[in-house]
């Protein structure tokens, strides 16, 4: 560290603390980091070094002395979710600390030397993959999952039990009977690459900002209010640390082996080694092999294996002294930016894409990288001809992270972000508070029209037997311009397409006829309303029951729905205000598509006049519980009020719903009690 005065040190310490607190909030709460882990760690190390050199400026509130908090706070839009949910908090029985980390093999050796001096005897280490996810603490009582809590601020965290119960790899009930009566086991909720790519593709399709990496996606998904939506996100879990009173284990590895025998998910890649040299060999292996894993890791965790030695070594205010993490430096490559393309998406969003000199990165050749939007381009101060650093976000998505200004050529050109649509020439617009520019010419922009058809025929929408090439041919021949045109196609028209024979034409016509039986929620999704994804469409269809009811809803009604934010509400209102869209709804309705939710077959009037709220996890999907209520004449709503007759509570019901029901005197019943109410008619 260069020579620095006390005054300068104090100013720099205050600046670093403020910046690090801001980055912690972006990372843990908003799930939207603006710098890399490596850059963050460098800042934290600088702060720690300054506090060590100038102890008079030390503070218990410094980021070096406390764990970054992921506790849900005020609703925000930055995470990409419409309305983050404020969970009930629960205190940790044992503080949930974070690990110290290093990027240096020399510091890793110093870690080993400190341990050797403290315990004065040889020790073995458990080496584990450092999964890049979000921390979780599970408590099991009498062999059943009692609750699941996020790290939070290390002292308390958010109770996310209902959401954790949707993760297939986490058992609600343990196997066997050798488990302690009560214990905690901690680990990481993560999102495999396959699920991450699928989620970001879906978000891109409805112009939601993609998650930067699988960690942010996992954290954001775990904090969703709708447990059924969490279940669809493909989250997984790995557990790696057990705590409890008088646990019958002498080593960490024994405890993890026992957890595996009880059916808990643990890593198959952990190894116990006897020296720091073997630790380094383990690191060397996984620094290369990690590129073949189906999930993201960002380093290796090294722990003293014997539990008695862990207790002897103890803790600092923030971290255990018996464990550390060696973090891999991010893979990045320097290459030249050749040009920038401006792509038009299905909903008119304009995305700048950088064309690069091909460069090897993490086992693949990278030729293109998204620049996301004009703000990102301005932030990078990027020029065509620049040399840029490219990284892979979560080892998957190439992104430009920095411009190497020292190599900027004299003839580098400032990019001219288009004012008009590259496809149809319409003047671009940018909604207030939005990052992207849009082409508003949705009914006449060829790219938007064709992309809308591709979305409409997709498997999750109308599931029509066609593809991009077919849509392109139909469009080029002017057979289709609006969605309803698909249902007017004739065999004679189809036979004019290149390579089409009788069988191909008959298959498409049959598929179109079959699509008329697709349920309303998928039809609504197929319409391609901006910001309305598959889960949103399903929720709105269930809540309103018909497209006419959705069309009639005003903005205030829409924004009062938990899953609908201002942006989605405005988008829905705007879509229904367009006469072309209304005309298409009527033509599609006339073609035979379903624009009403099918009513549940009525079995009895036993529950007539009763209003139910359903919360928690049940033996069957929640929709089936609601269907049971409606089939016996009851009504279901999403929130508890003075009109609610019963709150049906499954495993881990919403804490706020329970609290409100108790305050209002609403009767709380179980799934079994609900079934008993209707059993005579079942």
Closest listed residue to residue 139, CA positions, set 88, 93, 99:
93
> 66, 130, 223, 538: which is the annotated catalytic residue?
130
Asked if 272 and 124 touch (Cβ cutoff 8 Å), the reply is: yes
Residues 6+ positions from 585 with CB-CB distance below 8 Å: 527, 547, 595
Helix, strand, coil fractions of the chain, as percent rounded to 5: 40, 20, 40
Strand 297-304 to 125-131 pairing: antiparallel
- By residue count, the chain amounts to 682
Residue 38, SS3 per DSSP:
helix
Measured distance CA(257)–CA(264) in Å, rounded: 10
Beta-strand pair 332-344/387-393: antiparallel
671's tokens: 């799934």
Please check whether residue 422 is in contact with residue 416, taking contact to mean a CB–CB distance below 8 angstroms.
no
d(CA 205, CA 452): 10
* CA atoms within a 13 Å half-sphere pointing along the CA-CB vector of 233: 30
Given a contact cutoff of 8 angstroms between Cβ atoms, the answer to whether 674 and 107 are in contact is no
Helices 214-222/193-205 angle, 10° precision: 80
In the block, residue with structure tokens 């991009």: 468
d(CA 388, CA 404): 6
Q: How far apart are CA 192 and CA 237, in angstroms?
A: 10
Phi, psi values for residue 216, rounded to 5°: -65, -40
- Asked if 10 is an active-site residue, the reply is no
Maximum CA extent, the chain: 88
Q: Are 629 and 636 in contact (CB under 8 A)?
A: yes
Structure token digits, residue 111: 């870690």
Residues 6+ apart with CB under 8 A from 42: none
Q: Pick the closest to residue 270 from 357, 360, 187, 167 (CA basis).
A: 187
What are the residues facing 149 on neighbouring strands? 137, 159
> How far is it, in rounded angstroms, from Cα 11 to Cα 2?
15
Indicate which residues carry an active-site annotation: 130
């Amino acid at each position: 560290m260069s020579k620095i005065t006390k005054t300068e040190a104090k100013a720099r310490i205050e600046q670093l603390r403020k910046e690090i607190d801001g980055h912690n909030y972006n990372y843990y709460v908003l799930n939207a980091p603006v710098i890399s882990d490596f850059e963050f760690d460098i800042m934290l190390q600088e702060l720690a070094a300054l506090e060590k050199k100038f102890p008079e400026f030390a503070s218990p509130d410094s980021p070096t002395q406390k764990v970054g908090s992921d506790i849900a706070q005020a609703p925000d839009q930055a995470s990409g979710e419409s309305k983050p949910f404020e969970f009930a908090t629960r205190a940790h029985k044992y503080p949930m600390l974070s690990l110290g980390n290093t990027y240096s093999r020399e510091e890793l050796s110093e870690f080993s030397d400190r341990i050797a001096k403290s315990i004065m005897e040889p020790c073995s280490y458990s080496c584990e993959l450092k999964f890049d996810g979000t921390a979780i603490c599970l408590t099991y009582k009498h062999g059943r999952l009692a609750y699941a809590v996020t790290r939070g601020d290390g002292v308390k965290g958010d109770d996310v039990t209902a959401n954790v119960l949707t993760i297939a790899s986490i058992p609600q009930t343990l196997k066997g009977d050798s488990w302690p009566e009560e214990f905690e086991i901690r680990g990481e909720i993560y999102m495999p690459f396959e699920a991450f790519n699928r989620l970001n593709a879906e978000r891109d399709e409805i112009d939601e900002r993609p998650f930067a990496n699988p960690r942010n996606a996992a954290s954001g998904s775990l904090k969703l209010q709708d447990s059924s939506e969490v279940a669809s996100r493909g989250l997984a879990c790995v557990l790696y640390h057990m705590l409890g009173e008088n646990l019958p284990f002498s080593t960490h590895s024994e405890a993890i082996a026992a957890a595996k025998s009880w059916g808990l998910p643990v890593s198959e890649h952990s190894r116990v080694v006897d020296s720091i040299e073997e630790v380094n060999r383990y690191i060397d292996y996984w620094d290369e092999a990690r590129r073949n894993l189906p999930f993201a890791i960002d380093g290796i965790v090294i722990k003293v294996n014997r539990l008695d030695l862990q207790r002897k070594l103890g803790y600092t205010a923030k971290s255990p002294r018996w464990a550390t993490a060696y973090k891999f430096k991010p893979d990045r490559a320097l290459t030249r930016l050749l040009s920038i393309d401006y792509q038009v998406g299905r909903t008119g969003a304009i995305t700048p894409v950088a064309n690069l000199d091909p460069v090897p990165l993490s086992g693949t050749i990278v030729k293109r990288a998204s620049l996301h939007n004009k703000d990102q381009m301005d932030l990078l101060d990027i020029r065509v001809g620049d040399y840029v650093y490219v990284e892979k976000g979560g080892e998957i998505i190439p992104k430009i992270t920095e411009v190497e200004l020292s190599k900027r050529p004299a003839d580098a050109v400032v990019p001219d972000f288009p004012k008009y649509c590259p496809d149809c020439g319409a003047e671009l617009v940018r909604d207030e508070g939005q990052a992207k520019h849009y082409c508003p010419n949705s009914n006449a922009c060829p790219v938007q029209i064709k992309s809308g058809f591709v979305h409409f025929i997709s498997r999750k929408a109308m599931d029509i037997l066609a593809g991009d090439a077919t849509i392109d041919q139909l469009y080029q021949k002017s057979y289709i311009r609006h969605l309803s045109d698909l249902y007017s196609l004739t065999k004679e028209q189809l036979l004019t397409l290149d390579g089409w024979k009788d069988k191909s034409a008959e298959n498409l016509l049959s598929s179109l006829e079959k699509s008329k039986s697709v349920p309303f929620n998928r039809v609504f999704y197929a319409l391609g309303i901006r910001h309305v994804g598959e889960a949103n469409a399903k929720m709105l269809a269930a809540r309103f029951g018909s497209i006419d009811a959705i069309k009639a809803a005003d903005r205030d009604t829409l924004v009062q729905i938990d899953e609908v934010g201002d942006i989605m509400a405005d988008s829905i209102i705007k879509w229904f205000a367009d006469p072309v869209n209304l005309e298409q709804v009527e033509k599609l309705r006339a073609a035979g598509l379903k624009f009403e939710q099918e009513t549940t077959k009525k079995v009895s009037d036993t529950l007539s006049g009763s209003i139910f709220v359903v919360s928690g996890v049940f033996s069957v999907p929640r929709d089936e519980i609601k269907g049971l209520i409606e089939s016996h004449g009851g009504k279901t709503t999403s929130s508890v009020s003075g009109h609610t007759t019963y709150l049906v509570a499954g495993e881990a019901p919403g804490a706020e719903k329970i609290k409100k029901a108790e305050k209002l005197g609403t009767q709380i019943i179980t799934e079994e009690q609900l079934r008993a109410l209707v059993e005579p008619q079942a």
